[in-house]
Amino acid sequence: MSTVSLTINGLEVTVPKGTKLLDAALGAGFFIPTLCHDENSPNYGGCRICVVEVKGARALVASCCAEAANGMVVETESPAVVEARKTILELMLANHPADCLTCDKAGNCRLQDYAFRYDVKQPNFGGERKDHEFDDSNPYINRDMNKCILCARCVRTCKAVTDRAVIDLAYRGFKTKVATALDAKLAESLCVSCGRCVSVCPVGALTYRSFSGKARMWEVEKEQVTCTWCDAGCQFD
């Protein structure tokens, strides 16, 4: 197998050719935050929270999409990287409900984790905010598109993993949202409530109704279950 050697945070690392910078860094024991990346779905490169600094590159590089190359010198937490991540988080939080105290996802939310890690408290950005209707039409899944960060993990999972494509990114610009066909409520769509979209949502946009308001994340134990809806035997938390 052909390999490439690079330096990550001063450490010499050798990985198989074609390895993404993210995997090379994680494999070497370094932390890189991710929001849109999902190892079971096609690469997306949408959130940019995983950016790293590559010596000689003109801009920060999305590590989930860039391949490791021979001789690369990579910094995963340089001042420029940290500054970029803080700005990305501030932009997301500027248009996100500040209800972490009562959100069902509190304690298991990547946005919350990263805001804590990078000390992002008050967003420096103002402006228009999303105002989507809360969708509790489905007996198993709650959808709060005001909490959606448009990472599209649910879209790619529904499309690539379950082969359904019940949801997709719709509209444009500020109005972009994850929607069903004709923007119908989930109960009126072709959704079969498999819950795969909920299991990959990194924030509180998609949550299980059975859990809603009954406990806090750190009070429950997660279990791997096997879906019996079809013969595929899909497993998820």
Binding positions for ligand FES, rule: CB under 6 A = 34-37, 45-50, 62, 64
The smaller minimum CB distance to ligand FES, of residues 13 and 44, is found at 44
Distance of closest approach, residue 38 Cβ to ligand FES, in angstroms: 9
Give the CB-side neighbour count of residue 220, counting CA atoms within 13 A: 16
Taking the C-alpha atoms of residue 228 and residue 163, their distance in angstroms, rounded to an integer, is 16
Residue-wise DSSP of 193-234: ---HHHHH-SSSSEEETTTTTT--GGGS----EE--SSTT--
User: How crowded is residue 195: how many other Cβ atoms within 10 Å of its Cβ?
Assistant: 20
**Closest separation in Å from C-beta 34 to ligand FES:** 4
The residues, ordered by sequence, that sit 6+ positions from 202 with a Cβ below 8 Å of its Cβ are 35, 109, 110, 111, 149, 151, 153
Q: Please identify, using beta-carbon distances, which residue of 143 and 153 lies nearer to ligand FES.
A: 153
- Residue 196 φ/ψ, nearest 5 degrees: -60, -35
Instruction: Specify the residue, 62 or 206, whose C-beta has the smaller distance to ligand FES.
Output: 62
- Closer by beta carbon to ligand FES, 46 or else 195: 46
Tokens 């590559």 sit at which residue? Answer: 54
Shortest approach of ligand FES to residue 130 CB, angstroms? 20
CB nearer to ligand FES: pick between 60 and 186? 60
**Residue with token string 């949202």:** 177
We find the least distance from the C-beta atom of residue 47 to ligand FES, in angstroms, to be 3
Q: Which C-beta is closer to ligand FES: that of 13 or that of 64?
A: 64
CB of 45 to ligand FES, least distance (A): 4
CA separation for the pair 142, 136 (Å, rounded):
5
Smallest distance, Å, CB 226 to ligand FES? 28
> Looking at the DSSP assignment, which residues form a beta bridge with residue 74?
8, 54
